[in-house]
Amino acid sequence: MTAAFDLAGKRALVTGANTGIGQAIAIGLAASGATVVAAGRSSCAETLRRIEAAGGAGEELTLDLADPVAAGARLSDAGDLDILVNNAGIIRRADSVEYTEADWDDVMDVNLKAVFVLCQAFARAAIARNTGGRIVNIASLLSFQGGIRVPAYTASKHGVAGLTKILANEWSTHGINVNAVAPGYIATDNTAALRDDPVRSAEILGRIPAGRWGDPADIAGAVGFLCMPASAYVTGAVLNVDGGWLAR
């Protein structure tokens, strides 16, 4: 492994690391040499088992992002961090005319407010240490498109894209690169219903130039690059990893 692609000696926290994309990101960062703090509201034991089975190093931190301020206050429990990956998110579906304030607030708290609070806590510590660092936020195709029946999710993911850019503007001078990755249609538990629907699955695949559903490892690779020395001059970017969906 060349130095440009080596994360040895780095310490990374990944939220929502118990399954799916977050789990793949945690495993990928560990495979590149980082010590990974797998954070989630539920157990990340399986993620840690897979990291350790591959010869990597990891720890677990219980973090409930439904209370963003409390979660931010606990970030120091993870020790000095070099990398923060804000992956955790939730979605609530309903027609916009029926959407409840409670659903709106729940989605915004986890998907946007918690992202800002964790970024802020990470940056305060990194600036105080004068060590720099990397932040990667997980955006979405709905950072660019409207979607249907997911008003809070769409608004939150547009917010993640904008937040990524303003934080890059403010913090890059401190050596903190802030970027985002926007996944396309990825084969996870969250998309199982779509993949199991022959009509809807065919419609989706018909628009993806790559002709396949994405794998969580596809996202992990992109996130890993944005955490590595090789991407030192990349900041304020939102990288689409969608098999060409948005280009269609």
DSSP structure string for 11-55: EEEEETTTSHHHHHHHHHHHHTT-EEEEEESS--HHHHHHHHHTT
CA gap 216, 243 in Å, rounded:
13
Residue 8's region, left for phi above 0, alpha for psi from -120 to 50, else beta, is: beta
Lookup: tokens for 219: 């996202």
153 assigned to active site: yes
Q: What's the N-to-C CA distance of the chain in angstroms?
A: 35
* 57, 70, 241 from 135: Cα distances, Å: 20, 20, 17
Catalytic pick among 99, 153, 185, 233: 153
Q: Would you say 28 and 43 are in contact if contact means Cβ atoms under 8 Å apart?
A: no
Lookup: tokens for 203: 């419609």
* 14, 17, 31, 110 from 90: Cα distances, Å: 15, 14, 27, 7
3-state SS, residue 202:
helix
Q: Would you say 60 and 45 are in contact if contact means Cβ atoms under 8 Å apart?
A: yes
Residue identified by tokens 């699955």 is 201
Catalytic residue positions, numbered:
153
